[in-house]
Amino acid sequence: MKTIGYAAHSSDAHMVPYHFERRDLRANDVAIEILYSGVCHSDLHTVNGDWGPQPYPLVPGHEIVGRVLEVGPDVKSYKEGDHVAVGCMVDSCQECDQCHNHEEQYCRNGMTPTYGAKDRIDETITQGGYSKHIVVREEFVLNVPEKLDLSKAAPILCAGITTYSPLRTWNVGKGTRVGVIGLGGLGHMAVKLAVAMGAEVTVISRSKAKEEDAKAIGAKGILASTNSSDMKAAANSFDFILDTAPVKHDVTPYLPLLDIDGSLVIVGQVGPLEEPMTMPLVFGRRRIGGSLIGGIKETQEVLDFCAEHNIHPECEMIRMDEINKAFDHLSKGDVAHRFVIDMSSLELEK
């Protein structure tokens, strides 16, 4: 299948139009016309080579909402015209204990990311959602509930599941005191989801500049991490803190905010952190953890949860040719929402 996307050709180059071929359908494949593609901070990290060398040219994008164009003969769950979604992975071994436990993201043999990885069968490089079409095996295609706005649903496939999974794993529920570090693409979804679960949520940020934004989506307010007296007064006031900051930082100042047996879970920064002090951990039986997206079953669960509770990400719609400007905003960290690309703005030519 001939298609077009936007690709990075090196770590220091802008995204540019890129014509390429999608594979022919295998028996268990679903061919999808992409309608909307969310822009994730990890897309920027990846194309910049922040997480290691990449197989350029590289088409990012793992927050995908589209329409089924065609299915292979063995596909049972989808048909032409269905509205579907694809998230951060497109394959796994399907045989190990983690895959059997619906935790494909922790596949013992390595899950296959939606872009920048070798296909498990033909070893071609996977290319992501900044494109007009994608072909994915049925087991990694998700149903988009009718109650979700298609134009706003895409970020649920990464920002949604990345925050939903740890909230569920650490049993956040009614009355849980939750802190969310950062109010960007991940952070604002964490607030909405935790509030819907019944938690009491406070955003933790360097300043209170986004306090009205935080309150508008259900948070009590903002705790300014640069205000030492406020931070001291907030000691022991959280059961759980979700750290969505996407850059290297020091978690030590946040640890005393946790009550005894509290956990701080990192979902933003993939890479080094400043060396933490162990005293707050030892003297409060506190924990630092991490979490990576969620399995396919849990990703469908968060889509259904968002539909049930009328939760949509805060989105700014952009054209495909505006992606480099969007990346500039992400690199400055001044975005309290998610960019979503309207793929109708990308014309298939040649």
pLDDT digits (tens, 9 = 90+) for 158-186: 999 999 999 999 999 999 999 999 998 89
Confidence of residue 13 (pLDDT cuts 50, 70, 90): confident
Cis check for the bond before 57: say yes or no (omega within 30 of 0): yes
User: CA 75 → CA 5, 63, 86, 134, 183, distances in Å?
Assistant: 26, 22, 16, 16, 40
**Class of domain 160-290 as given by CATH:** alpha beta
Q: Are 185 and 335 in contact (CB under 8 A)?
A: yes
> Which residue, among 192, 341, 170, 293, has the nearest Cα to 239 in the 3D structure?
170
Kindly state the tokens that stand for 134.
């994608």
Question: pTM of this prediction?
Answer: 0.95
The pLDDT of residue 46 is 93
The pLDDT of residue 350 is 42
Whether the CA torsion 268, 272, 277, 282 is positive or negative: it is: positive
> In the chain, where does the domain assigned CATH 3.90.180.10 lie?
2-158+314-345
Distance of CA 190 to the CA centre of its chain: 11
pLDDT digits (tens, 9 = 90+) for 185-231: 899 999 999 999 999 999 999 999 999 999 999 999 999 999 999 99
Q: Are 236 and 254 in contact (CB under 8 A)?
A: no
> In the chain, where does the domain assigned CATH 3.40.50.720 lie?
160-290
Rg, the chain, Cα only? 20
The dotted CATH code for 2-158+314-345 is 3.90.180.10
The pLDDT of residue 334 is 64
pLDDT higher than 70, residue 349: no
